[in-house]
């Protein structure tokens, strides 16, 4: 009899930024539910730690040490996944960069380009390379992590805010393009979470007052379940509400 908790059994799920923080917790949660996890990150040590944690819960993973700013490598990854599995059931676009918090005129062009490269272009390249694979699934699911900064666009947060707004626009467009297929594309807002990025953004904040990545991983992974049939939506974990992108 199938374990009812293994709702992602025999499914293939790709998670970016999987070596730490929310990506690590989401990858572990997906594996706990039975998925084979394609874990992508630059940090080999973090991926190896994740692999041990996944094995401890009876799961399996393929580790992919990859810098998502190597856009051609994303294409090669898509080809390799097609050769091995011929499909992709879930994509969690978690990897992101805060960059520098600075007046816009003071941000170096190379820094602005890097922020958009990871937060926007890398996710576009993932969509481009994984689209066929997601369409080959009977319930392909893609979810991208955004931030309330995409809408507040507070002073000094311009580059990060603009990149997350652009990411949401990409997700909305892709959701519309796949609306009449088995693919669903949505956005997840984790709110303030105890991560290295949050500590960099708010160095004076007491991290003990924040939820952990494990606290938000469950609702995030829910969005790549086959039963999650909404598309073109953003789920805000702070309010528990879902709205259209």
Give the residue numbers annotated as catalytic, written as ranges.
160
* Secondary structure class of 234 (helix, strand, coil): strand
- Contacts of 210-216 with CB under 8 Å at 24 or more apart are 212/25, 213/21, 213/22, 213/24, 213/25, 213/26, 214/25, 214/29, 216/22, 216/25, 216/190, 216/191
User: Going by DSSP bridges, is the β-strand pair 12-16/184-189 parallel, antiparallel, or unpaired?
Assistant: unpaired
Q: What is the residue-wise DSSP string for 83-102?
A: HHHS---EEEE--------S
CA distance 81 to 117: 23
What is the longest distance spanned by two Cα atoms in the chain?
Answer: 61
Q: Token match 């730490």: residue? A: 20
Q: Could you tell me which of 67, 75, 58 has the C-alpha nearest to residue 130? A: 75
């Amino acid at each position: 009899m199938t374990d009812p908790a293994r709702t992602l059994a025999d499914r293939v799920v790709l998670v970016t930024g999987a070596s730490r923080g929310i990506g690590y917790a989401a990858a572990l949660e997906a594996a706990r539910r039975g998925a084979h996890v394609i874990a992508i990150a630059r940090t080999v040590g973090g991926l190896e730690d994740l692999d041990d944690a996944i094995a401890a819960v009876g799961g399996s993973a393929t580790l992919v040490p990859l810098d998502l700013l190597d856009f051609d490598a994303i294409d090669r990854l898509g080809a390799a996944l097609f050769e091995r599995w011929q499909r992709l059931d879930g994509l969690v676009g978690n990897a992101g960069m805060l960059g520098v918090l600075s007046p816009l005129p003071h941000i170096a062009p190379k820094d602005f380009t890097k922020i958009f490269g990871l937060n926007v272009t890398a996710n576009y390249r993932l969509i481009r390379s994984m689209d066929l694979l997601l369409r080959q699934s009977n319930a392909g699911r893609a979810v991208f992590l955004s931030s309330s900064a995409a809408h507040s666009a507070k002073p000094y947060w311009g580059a990060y805010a603009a990149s997350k707004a652009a990411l949401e626009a990409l997700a909305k467009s892709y959701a519309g393009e796949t609306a009449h297929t088995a693919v669903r594309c949505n956005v997840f807002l984790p709110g303030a979470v105890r991560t290295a990025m949050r500590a960099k953004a708010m160095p004076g904040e007491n991290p003990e007052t924040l939820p952990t990545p494990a606290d938000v991983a469950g609702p995030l992974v829910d969005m790549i379940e086959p039963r999650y049939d909404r598309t073109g939506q953003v789920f805000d974990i702070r309010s528990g509400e879902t709205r259209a992108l």
